Structure 1
């Protein structure tokens, strides 16, 4: 049973969704599944009528006669559509379902801009696969879809980061308002009495106006020599940045999972995330993998295990509230206080580091993600031996 995987052509930067899609494709092919990847043109989820009609053709929605697929799509083909596309073209998924096509939606994160289209698309799909438990919970809460399945992202093995002196802090994410680099810069500005360096690693081309605001904020605080905006990095340059890192930040306003959390932990780097986002799932997964209680995400030394004290590999920081400037100032102060504690408290810093090192060897790989997805889709694959515990098992612990 072949798989046709429709992905958005307009997301060109190194996003979590793009990484997941690419690694899932690679993993399915390794398992012997025939996967055809089609990058669908359009400004998804805001597309034109022409782009939506072309999508309908790819879905087999416009076949001749009732229930007849188009010539290059068979009823044995499983079509998997990225949720960014699906929420912008619900009618096309509905027509495809009426034509007898077997279409699944891969939902990376909820769509705040297209909630109605998202609900229609998910209900029209043959099934929904979510890449985090938070996305599945949102589908249930907003659209009444209790049958959503979860296939957690995998993590590539990575060498332990030796870190730096003075400590080096990174925020790895595209420069976008949702990723809230302005909050990170404002928090770091409150720590200029301490010794540290920082990098904002991610494309500055996705939203040039916001990237300009971030650079202007760094300059206004006089931190050009301490906070570097690197742009998107890859290869040796990215590896070098990770190697010098001691602490990772992901303070997105909304996050379905946050691949950078597990990418950091794979290198033994602890992470600070924003409470109430899916990034807490990623940090909580690491806690459960090493036998720590899932609720112990407050950044404190958390209790006793085997007669000794333990720490979680970072902290989930409460940064909720309206977006006016007064609240933004308060949030920056809260985040700065947590980073300050990490910088000054050697015992806390060592505890976070030890917990991250404990988790890194047990993080599930992308092979687990691929096997979970093909089992959900019912796709036959060749025999694979010595497979690690699947993401499905981890999803059950969410």
Structure 2
């Protein structure tokens, strides 16, 4: 059987959804006996230097020719067309979400990234993406034929149901995700600034070093809203501490402006948490309607109204929590995800007892 050479830029151990997805694929393939290896690429993507592109080329071309090149979209979407063309027919591209749709890019930068990714994807043998919404986007805006796109929803691990905060404690709101512009935390702070009269506390868990200016702005916004005593910005924390944060939560909040899938939403579902999220990108489809209240991304007024309605309605939160817990049974597992991606990379996988 051919092997999978999984090329991933940067530090695979970073606590982000995309890297978490990549790590789990590699771990599941090891457990399944599927030959696969991690090919480390420079961390400068999606804005590689010429030296980094040369290093990338050497790393990829050093792989056996009959290996399948699975390349994370953070790198592949930024490949110059000449490099992508030179790998035509050998690459399976993994697209978490289009690079040009990352919030915070200047318009000309976003336009250039979108054009470069569209050009690179023309040369991929197949594309794996993480949601039906992203598949539709790649077909409609990037010209990728639907027949070449496979969906491998992120898996989720079974988890105990959240117990929530104690009765004499403020309602515990939880948000999880790196502090980057796309996550919309400034909008959440603006929404909460008008809800001081209600009894709540917010914990934000996620790396604070990915976009330092965004983190500084968020800290300033929290202070300016006089919410420093009610919002805890924890940064990245160990898995055990994150599990404890989910267990103590009463309401999960995701104010993202755009999501390619929204893995934290299924993690919240797995713990039976009611959800308040936006409709940005695939998030509208990831969370079931009976378990989640959804608002337009970037609308602080709508977010505040939704927050107030849920804070004031414990019976509604309980009903949403029950719906979330029921939905958890149908969530995909990581072994299923890994099998789908392996099947795209290695046609015939699983057909002869592989």
Same fold (TM over 0.5): yes
Which one of the candidate residues 267, 271, 275 is aligned to 2:271?
Answer: 267
Aligned-residue offset at 1:383? 4.3
Aligned-residue offset at 1:54? 2.2
Find the counterpart in structure 2 of residue 352 from structure 1.
Answer: 320
1:251 partnered with 2:219 = no
Contact 1:257 1:280 in 2 (8 A): no
Aligned-residue offset at 1:12? 5.8
Alignment RMSD, CA only?
1.7
Aligned equivalents of 1:51, 1:225: Cα separation in 2: 44
Aligned equivalents of 2:211, 2:127: Cα separation in 1: 30
The equivalences for 1:322-337 within 5 A come to 331-337=299-305
> Matched residue of 2:116: which SS?
helix
Aligned-residue offset at 1:377? 2.0
Aligned-residue offset at 1:53? 2.0
Aligned residue pair count? 334
Contact 1:189 1:223 in 2 (8 A): yes
Contact 1:8 1:82 in 2 (8 A): yes
Find the counterpart in structure 1 of residue 105 from structure 2.
Answer: none
Which one of the candidate residues 82, 86, 91 is aligned to 1:103?
Answer: 91
Find the counterpart in structure 2 of residue 19 from structure 1.
Answer: 20
Find the counterpart in structure 2 of residue 201 from structure 1.
Answer: 205
Find the counterpart in structure 2 of residue 318 from structure 1.
Answer: 296
Aligned-residue offset at 1:134? 1.7
Aligned equivalents of 1:235, 1:74: Cα separation in 2: 36
> Matched residue of 1:124: which SS?
coil
Aligned-residue offset at 1:163? 0.3
Aligned-residue offset at 1:359? 1.1
Find the counterpart in structure 2 of residue 141 from structure 1.
Answer: 140
> Matched residue of 1:319: which SS?
coil
1:37 partnered with 2:5 = no
Contact 1:59 1:96 in 2 (8 A): no
Find the counterpart in structure 2 of residue 66 from structure 1.
Answer: none
Q: CA-to-partner distance for each residue in 1:326-349, whole Å, 9 max, x for gaps?
A: xxxxx2221011011111123311
> Matched residue of 2:46: which SS?
coil
Aligned-residue offset at 1:19? 0.5
Which one of the candidate residues 320, 330, 336 is aligned to 1:368?
Answer: 336
Aligned-residue offset at 1:36? 0.8
> Matched residue of 2:86: which SS?
helix
Contact 2:77 2:98 in 1 (8 A): no
1:78 partnered with 2:68 = yes
Distance 1:236 1:42, change over 3 A: closer
Find the counterpart in structure 1 of residue 106 from structure 2.
Answer: none
Relative to the length of structure 2, the TM-score reads 0.90
Q: CA-to-partner distance for each residue in 1:73-115, whole Å, 9 max, x for gaps?
A: 3332101000110111132121122xxx621110110121301
Aligned-residue offset at 1:319? 3.4
Aligned-residue offset at 1:216? 1.4
Aligned equivalents of 2:24, 2:127: Cα separation in 1: 19
Aligned-residue offset at 1:276? 3.8
Relative to the length of structure 1, the TM-score reads 0.80
Aligned-residue offset at 1:10? 5.4
> Matched residue of 1:375: which SS?
helix
Contact 2:258 2:297 in 1 (8 A): no
Find the counterpart in structure 1 of residue 104 from structure 2.
Answer: none
Aligned equivalents of 1:319, 1:143: Cα separation in 2: 23
> Matched residue of 2:48: which SS?
coil
Aligned equivalents of 1:74, 1:237: Cα separation in 2: 41
> Matched residue of 1:46: which SS?
coil
Aligned equivalents of 1:209, 1:102: Cα separation in 2: 39
Q: CA-to-partner distance for each residue in 1:50-69, whole Å, 9 max, x for gaps?
A: 21122223333xxxxxxxxx
Which consecutive residues of structure 2, in runs of 5 or more, have no partner in the other structure?
Answer: 101-109
Find the counterpart in structure 2 of residue 185 from structure 1.
Answer: 189
> Matched residue of 2:8: which SS?
strand
Aligned equivalents of 2:43, 2:192: Cα separation in 1: 38
Aligned equivalents of 1:12, 1:250: Cα separation in 2: 23
Aligned equivalents of 1:277, 1:106: Cα separation in 2: 17
